[in-house]
Amino acid sequence: MKVRALWGFKGIQAELKNATGQARAGEEFDVSDEYGHTLVGKGLAAEVDGKTAPKTNKQAKPEENK
């Protein structure tokens, strides 16, 4: 899973695959799915894979408006 750090943080060096184990805002990392979901869930990173479609809301029909 490819993620982009939104905030600087100290992470697991083996997962981030860098010398210090620290991430700076804006850096991109290729991490395992489990670790990537953990970072996204904590708000530290965002997924940057092109596989995800943007989430859209269903448009209400006129008869559904109240």
The per-residue pLDDT for range 4-38, each reduced to its tens digit, is 999 999 988 888 888 888 999 999 999 998 999 99
Give a yes or no: residue 33 inside a domain: yes
* Confidence (pLDDT) at 28: 92
Long-range CB pairs of 23-32 (<8 Å, 24+ gap) are 28/2, 28/3, 28/4, 29/2, 29/3, 29/4, 29/5, 30/1, 30/2, 31/1, 31/2, 31/3, 32/1
Give a yes or no: residue 58 inside a domain: no
Domain that holds residue 29: 2-48
The per-residue pLDDT for range 41-59, each reduced to its tens digit, is 999 999 987 565 556 666 7
* Confidence (pLDDT) at 35: 92
Number of domains within the chain:
1
CA of residue 2 relative to chain centroid, distance: 8
Give a yes or no: residue 55 inside a domain: no
Give a yes or no: residue 53 inside a domain: no
> Helix, strand, coil: what percent of the chain each, to 5?
25, 20, 55
